[in-house]
Amino acid sequence: MQAAHRHNLATTRAARGFTLLELLVVIVIIGLLAAYVGPKYFAQLGKSEVTVAKAQIEAFEKSLDTYRLDVGRYPSTEEGLGALLVAPPAAGTRWNGPYLKKAVPLDPWGHAYQYRAPGSKGEYDIVSMGKDGQPGGSGDNADISAQ
């Protein structure tokens, strides 16, 4: 009879579930893990967007170099990166594009890349204005260019 009573007591304890203290301890542990992992995850996310922007700018540079070999000059600021897809009137018959497989993409934050020719650092500048879409800034808002 005593064995049956012990078995019945163990079954009722298991059926009651967790105490409030046990649940609070688990919630605190989950909160600590989220506080530790969260910032590291979002920092990596920002770095990947910058990496994508740099890779796209490098692809533009290669396409612009091919354009220059064919046409003899880089597109003007007015022609912009669109000259890599559609022949500008000034390019004449030497244009052998399109030099991009798809339309000119937006930067990872959804803003258009800024193209200027001549550039402040060379024959042209290609710049992503960063997350905020404004010139200057730091961190995720910093301008990204090839140089």
- Give the alpha-carbon dihedral of 101, 97, 81, 50, to 10 degrees: 30
Tens-digit pLDDT profile for residues 72-115:
899 989 988 988 988 888 877 888 878 888 888 898 888 999 99
Under DSSP, is residue 86 helix (H, G, I), strand (E, B) or coil?
A: coil
pLDDT over 90 (residue 62): yes
Superfamily of domain 21-145: Glycoprotein, Type 4 Pilin (3.30.700.10)
* pLDDT number for residue 68: 92
Task: Tell me the C-alpha distance between 75 and 127, whole Å.
Answer: 15
Tens-digit pLDDT profile for residues 26-36:
999 998 888 88
Angle at 25 between CA 23 and CA 28, to 5 degrees: 110
Task: Give the 3-state secondary structure percentages of the chain, helix then strand then coil, rounded to 5.
Answer: 55, 5, 40
Whole-model pTM over 0.85: no
The domain limits of the chain are 21-145
